[in-house]
Amino acid sequence: MDNKQIEALNLWGADSESAIKRMLGDEVFYLSLVDAFVSNNDWNDMCKLIEKKQYRDAFVISHRMKGSCVDLSLTPLFKAMCELTDDLRYEEIRPTLESDLEAAQKLRDSLVKALHLE
């Protein structure tokens, strides 16, 4: 694996090797999925829903994102999305929502930066 984006993902904390194995060794496909994950509107949509206190809808998006993180072996963000999804899971919103959202945002930002090799 000499791809700079894969190296950057691994330095960020992803387990690219295991994800690529699940994708039959197709690094290009893996990177296209990672790019699609960070490029889609799910993050912004979820944040807007949280801001509007539409927690059930935000939960659906956070749960989907959590699944994508595990499929792509984006382990640091997966762990943060687990916390965020649990914050939104029940009618009684956990008081950690704001801090968990901030932590997930920082990880997502660092992932985007790693991918673009800034």
What is the spatial distance between Cα 53 and Cα 63, in angstroms, rounded to a whole number? 17
* 80-107 confidence digits (pLDDT tens): 999 999 999 998 999 999 999 999 999 9
Structure tokens at 15: 């387990």
User: How many CB atoms are closer than 10 A to CB 80?
Assistant: 23
- DSSP readout, 35-47? HHHHHSSHHHHHH
What is the spatial distance between Cα 70 and Cα 27, in angstroms, rounded to a whole number? 17
* 13-57 confidence digits (pLDDT tens): 999 999 999 999 999 999 999 999 999 999 999 999 999 999 999
Structure tokens at 56: 């059930």
Given 3-state DSSP classes, what are the helix, strand and coil percentages for the chain, each rounded to the nearest 5?
75, 0, 25
The pTM assigned to this predicted structure is 0.90
User: How many CB atoms are closer than 10 A to CB 82?
Assistant: 17
Contact 100, 83 (CB under 8 A): yes
Structure-token match 């993902």, residue found: 9
Mean pLDDT in residue range 53-72: 97
